[in-house]
Chains A and B, each alone.
Chain A
Amino acid sequence: MKLSAAHKNGSLQIAVLLIFLMPILNFAQTSYNNSGLFSPVNRLKFGNYLFADKDYLRASAEFKEYLKSFDDDTVRFNYSLCLFNIGKYEEASDNFKTLFYGNPFTEKARLYFYESYFFGKDYKELRDLADNQNYKSVLYSKGIERLKNISYLMDDSRLPEMNSFLSVFDDSVQSRIAKFYYQKKNPKHKNPVTAAIFSAIIPGSGKIYTGEIGDGITAFITTALSAYLAYSNFKADHNFRGWLFTGLTAFFYSGNVYGSAASAQIYNARIRFNFDKEVKIYFGERNYFLPKSDY
C-alpha cells in the first residue's frame, strides 16, 4: 500500500510537471512571429516606447499593426499624433476625425484636426470648416478661431473685418497683430508699370523708384555715355561706330526699362517674403497661441 501511494504521488508530480512543461514545448512549435515580441500587446508596448522616444515613424507602424487587431481610442489618438508629427497631415486629420464622438479625446482630436489643416497649409479648407462650425470644439473654439485668423495672414485671401479679426487674440498682443493686419491689407508695393515708365522717360529712374539707387545711376550713366558716343561719332562722320553705339544705347535703354519692371516685382516679392517670415517667426515663437501640448 505504501509503495503504491508513493508511486501515485510520483505520477501526480510528473503529470503536474508535464502540464507546466506543455506550454513551453508548445511555444517552441509556434511560429516566431506569432510569439512574444510581435503580439499585439507587445507591439503596443513597443509603439509606446518609440512614441516616447519621439521615433514617430516607427511608432506609427507599430500602432497601425495593433489597431488591426484591436480598436482602441488611446492608440488611435497616439497613432494620429504620430502621423501629425511626421507631417502626414491629411492622414492625421482623417484619423483625428474618427475620434470626434464618444471618447475622452473628442476635444483634443478636434483641435488637432484643425491644426492638421493649418500645418498642412490647407488654409482655405481650414477656414471653410471653421466657418461652417463643423466639428465645433467646446474647449478649443477660441484656439481654432485664432488659427483661422492667422491663416488669413498666410495666403492671398481677403482679410475679414479688423475688429472681428483681432477679437480672438489677447489684448496684450492685439497692437502687434493689428500691424500685421495693416501690412497685409496695405502692402507698400511698387508698381512695375510705373517703374518701366519712369525708366522709359529717364533711364535708371525706375530702378531708383524701386530702391536700387546704384543700379539706377549705373543704368543712367551707361545709357547716356553710349548715346553721347553715338552722337559724337555720327558728328565726326564715323558712321559705323555711330551705329554701333546707337545699338548699344538701345540695348542698355530697353534692358533698363525691362529691368525696372522686373525690379519692382522683386521689390514686391521681397516685401511678401519678409512679411511671411515675420509672421511665421512671431506666431511660431508663440506656438500660434495654441494650448500647450501634453505630448
Chain B
Amino acid sequence: MTKLKLLTICFVFLIATQLHAQTDWVKWDAQTVSYELRKTQHHEYTIDKSDFGMTLISFGRNVYYFFISDLDGDNCPFNPTCSQFLVQSIEETNIFVGPLMFADRFTRDLNFIKGRDHYQIIPNGKLFDPVCNYTLNSKKIKF
C-alpha cells in the first residue's frame, strides 16, 4: 500500500515535469481592459482640506504650479518633484520638520553630480526619492 502511494506521487511528479506551469495562483474575475492610450501624469491641482495649514500650503503649491512649474518645463530630476516633496513632507510630518526635509532635498537637487547609484531610476527616467525615506523612521525606508 505504501509503495503504491509513493508510486502514485512519483507518477504525478513525472507528469508534472512534462507539463507547463499555470499562473492561476489566486481566483480571478473577468476584466475589461480599456482600449484607450495611457496619458502621462500632470500636476494635480488639489486642495488638502484636512486643516487650515494644509489648505494654505496646497493652495500655495497650486499657485506655484500655475504660474511657474507648468510653464518652465520639466526641470526636476526627482520623483516626487521638489514642490510635491514639500507638501508631502509636511503632510507626513509637521510644519517644522517638513521644511527641514525640503531644505535637504533642495540641497541634494543642487548637487550636479547626483549619486545615480543611490537613487532608483523609475521608468519615466526620474530618480525615485520618496518622502518616507526622510522621516527618520528607519522602518518606513524603501528602495
Contacts of A78 in B (CB 8 A): 9, 12
A255 touches B104 (CB 8 A): yes
Q: Residue A259 contacts which of B21, B22, B103, B118 (CB distance < 8 angstroms)?
A: B103
Chain A residues touching B, majority SS: helix
Chain B residues at the A interface, C-beta cutoff of 8 Å:
2, 5-6, 8-10, 12-13, 15-16, 19-22, 24-27, 97, 99-108, 110-115, 118, 133-136, 138, 141, 143
Interfacial chain A residues near B102, Cβ < 8 Å? 255
Would B141 and A269 count as touching, CB distance under 8 A?
yes
Chain B residues with CB under 8 A of A73: 5
Chain A contact-residue range equals: 35 or more
Within the assembled complex, what's the spacing in Å between the Cα atoms of A53 and B17? 8
In A44-84, which residues have CB < 8 Å from any B CB?
48, 51-58, 73-74, 77-78
For residue A258, CB closer than 8 A to chain B, the reply is yes
Contacts of A77 in B (CB 8 A): 9
Please name the residue on chain B nearest to A262 by beta carbon: B134
- B17's nearest neighbour on chain A, judged by CB, is A52
Sample 19 A-B pairs with CB under 8 A, ordered by A number.
A53-B21, A57-B22, A77-B9, A192-B136, A212-B115, A214-B113, A252-B107, A255-B101, A258-B97, A258-B100, A258-B104, A258-B136, A259-B101, A259-B104, A259-B108, A259-B134, A261-B136, A262-B101, A268-B138
Cα A261 to Cα B104 in complex, Å, equals 11
Are B13 and A295 in touch, CB under 8 angstroms?
yes
A-B residue pairs, 5 tightest by C-beta? A255-B103, A259-B104, A52-B15, A55-B22, A218-B111
Q: A187 at the A/B interface (Cβ < 8 Å)?
A: no
Q: A215 at interface (Cβ–Cβ under 8 A)?
A: yes
Partner of B9, one of A74, A214, A219, A258: A74
